[in-house]
Amino acid sequence: MKKTLIITLEYPPKVGGIATYVHQMAEAFDPEKTVVYAPKMLGTEEWDNTVKYKVIRKKPYFSYFWPRWLKMFFQIKKIVKEEKIEVIILHHVLPVAYVAKMIKKIFKIPFIVCFHGTDFVFAMKNNWKKRRTLGVLKTADLLVFNSESLKRRFAEKVEGFSEKSIVLYPCPSFEMLNAPEPEVLTNIKKNFALEGKKVVLTISRFDEGKGLPHLAMVMKEVVEKRPNIVWMIIGDGKKKDELMDYIQKNKMQNVVRYLGEIPHKDLKQYYYSADLFALLTHPDKVREEEGLGMVFLEAQACGIPVIAGRSGGVEEAVLNGHTGLVFEVYQEKLAIEKAILNLLENKEYAGRLAENGKQRIISDFKWKNQLAKLDIILKN
């Protein structure tokens, strides 16, 4: 493997799908030949001491000098020389690809651009950004998309990149396949009063397209029909107040367990404490469609059935009727309600979906197999 620099603006301890994807990709590489460039933030030293590969933290932007990203260029240039970098992988397009383009011109170092979803929407936001994006992508050696859906949407808006575009699925950590110690789950049930309850789990950023308001309306009807249900919610974001207001106005406080934002390394125990994972992703005007949905893969790895909203690459993460159920959020509210109740009551059916999901993770979502798609550039 060539010495590789991964550049990201989202990385732990920040919580989120891209941050998780970046860390798990880096973790799957040879740690002696992997360097991650990431922003400084609170708690970075504690996190960085836990990983085997090298992490370099910087403040990427000038405060006043324009273009602000030029500071990142000087930082990356120094890292490339000192670390003897041979390949660069970007997890953002603008402005990071400007830097990679300049580095390639100076050092002849190839670079790979990874698209996740929201970054693609931002890059195509207007004609000016689109022109800028296409200008740097023409010099990229490979474009990586996290789903066939995202790759297809890119091709519909941009021509001429098909030969250097691939799909590389994010993969849950295989640690997710192993259940926590029984006492860990016992403590969770005790601490959150889950004994004798059926637990519906939702983990998400509270943002457009995640469907939290829709799910709240569905859960209101569900708990009225089956009072022994608990809705456990993990996450944070700009839609939090809207969600909490709905819960309070509809007197759902007794059935909701809101845990806030939790570090990714601590999520496994909550997946295993749940009977069902539900997140009603849907297309929207701001984010357009979901890239893939890492939480759906993680839920399946942990052996719980999944209910998801049809959006972008979600149907690649959840095979409808085989590893979970996928619905049109706006059109199938009643069907979603019935599906939640059915999966909580029909153990055989829920167990079959869960087992199918777990086996698919084991067979199809291995980092080793996915990263082999990059060998054409990464191998010596």
Report pLDDT for 284: 80
Report pLDDT for 286: 58
Please return the burial class of 81, using the count of CB atoms within 10 Å of its CB with bins 0-12, 13-18 and 19+. Answer: exposed
The pLDDT tens digits of the residues spanning 197-235 come to 999 999 999 988 999 999 999 999 999 999 899 999 999
Per-residue b/e over 213-236, b at no fewer than 16 CB within 10 Å? ebbbbbbbebbeeeeebbbbbbbb
Q: What are the structural domains, with CATH classification, of the chain?
A: 4-171+366-378 (3.40.50.2000), 174-364 (3.40.50.2000)
The pLDDT tens digits of the residues spanning 319-343 come to 999 999 999 999 999 999 999 999 9
pTM of the model: 0.92
Pair 85, 109: CB distance under 8 Å: yes
Across the chain, mean pLDDT equals 93
Name 240's Cβ contacts closer than 8 Å, sequence gap at least 6: 206
Tokens of 203: 């983990």
Alpha-carbon distance of 155 to 167, in angstroms, equals: 13
| Position with higher pLDDT, 60 vs 380 | 60
Measured torsion, CA atoms of residues 127, 129, 133, 136, in degrees rounded to the nearest 10:
110
Q: Could you identify the residue written with the tokens 């550049």? A: 7
Pair 33, 4: CB distance under 8 Å: yes
| Position with higher pLDDT, 154 vs 342 | 342
Amino acid sitting at position 347? K
Name which of 308, 332, 331 is nearest 320 in CA terms.
Answer: 308
Name which of 345, 341, 370, 348 is nearest 144 in CA terms.
Answer: 370
The pLDDT tens digits of the residues spanning 277-320 come to 999 999 886 557 888 999 999 999 999 999 999 999 999 999 99
Q: Which residues pair with 231 in a beta bridge?
A: 200, 256
Q: Which residues pair with 87 in a beta bridge?
A: 4
Phi-psi sector, 15: left (phi>0), alpha (psi -120 to 50), beta:
beta
Pair 280, 327: CB distance under 8 Å: yes
In degrees, rounded to 5, the angle at the alpha carbon of residue 299 between the alpha carbons of residues 294 and 305 is: 130
